[in-house]
Amino acid sequence: MVEIAESAYSVTGIRGGGMAPPNVATLITKNTSFAGRQNRGRMYMPPLTDGVISTGGIITEADRLLVQGGADQFLADLAASSIPMVILHTDPAVTPTSVNSLSVASKVATQRRRLR
């Protein structure tokens, strides 16, 4: 049985400090038991505030560890709810690859437009 709860909040979300540019994101890589390009995955999370990112794009270690703890807890919560995180493949005949762990990169990722 699944229980769902809803609550209405009228609190505006805020962050202390200046925001990073909109093309900057926190990169989380999905780790599997297999090697190769098709068995890799990544997620892009909203960026941290400017105060925790150096001019070279490096996240402070304390803040990276906070995000890593949240990513680990997210994966554990999925497993506890019997919802496995998997990497899907373009070929439907290939079995989805199970994600074993998540790793938060110490350097922020940037969104680049592809030139074709």
Q: Which residues of the chain have pLDDT under 70?
A: 1-17, 112-116
The pLDDT score that the predictor gives to residue 51 is 79
The pLDDT score that the predictor gives to residue 86 is 92
Residue 51's contacts (CB-CB under 8 Å, 6 or more residues apart) are 17, 18
The pLDDT score that the predictor gives to residue 85 is 92
CA atoms within 13 A on the CB side of 112: 6
One-letter identity of residue 100:
N
Q: How many CB atoms lie within 10 A of CB 99?
A: 20
Q: Which residues face 41 on adjacent strands?
A: 30
What spatial distance separates the first Cα and last Cα of the chain, rounded to whole Å? 49
Domain boundaries, the chain: 24-110
Q: For residues 54 and 106, is the Cβ–Cβ distance under 8 A?
A: no
The pLDDT score that the predictor gives to residue 16 is 59
